[in-house]
Structure 1
Amino acid sequence: MKNFLKFFLVGIFFGIVLVKSEAVSWYRIYEMFKFQSFHMYGIIGTAVFTGIILLLIAKKKHLKTTQGTYLRVPLKDKGLIRYIAGGSIFGLGWALCGACPGPMYILVGTGVFSILIVIAAALVGTFVYGLLKRKLLH
């Protein structure tokens, strides 16, 4: 229960940050995909930069995961086509619904209940991927 509370509070904080930074705003996402505003690129770039710095610090200080093992980032297989295809599908979904997975749940919390249709579609898509995973190239 203690771990749940910690992660729940971090999630609440994450939601507040995304709402206050307007990262959950459909209009901000629309501006980003039309290259009319730097706002979302700044948020994404800040997140990537912060992640890189925190990962480097965690590796340098030999911090452990919640399971007690040392932090290790596995090497990825090279596969340009699969990353382009996956990124394109993700970006298309993001552009069509105006939200990536994290903000979808935050939008429910802000009262945008129409996003429940998108969440249901995302869950169905995840289920279908699970069924087809063995048949897809990885």
Structure 2
Amino acid sequence: MLEFFRDPAWQFVGVVLAVAALAATFLVFWLQRQRKTLSYEVISKNQLLTVREELEGRLQVLYDGHPARDICLLIVKFVNSGNVPVSTTDYERPLSLSTGITSKILSAVITDVDPENLAASIDILESRVTLKPILLNSKDFVVV
């Protein structure tokens, strides 16, 4: 019976099975590792007026009765892309979007959340929007 297993073909099959078992072990380990990841995606960035339209004086936008120039609509999605919840204690500081000191944020709102009962809120300062720390489970997101 031992002569049967000494055949090079069976030895090759044994090596292939051992390598497959080792690869499966690493694959299971890689899939089960815990990742705490918070990411963002710019969904849309649109200039509402073109420079040409503004220069030609053909179109003017007023915001709260004051002229507004170079208006841009920005939609950003914050998502827990890991497989472990991100709790409020995990934040070193709140998430924020800054447009720079030369611009001003006219308005910011939360347009979508998942799950629907997620109590997300934002603060708006001159050129910064800040998302207050909240618990985000895996695949939860907030769109601002």
> Normalization by structure 2: what TM-score?
0.23
In terms of fraction of residues, the more strand-rich structure is 2
Largest Rg, 1 or 2: 2
> Normalization by structure 1: what TM-score?
0.23
In terms of fraction of residues, the more helix-rich structure is 1
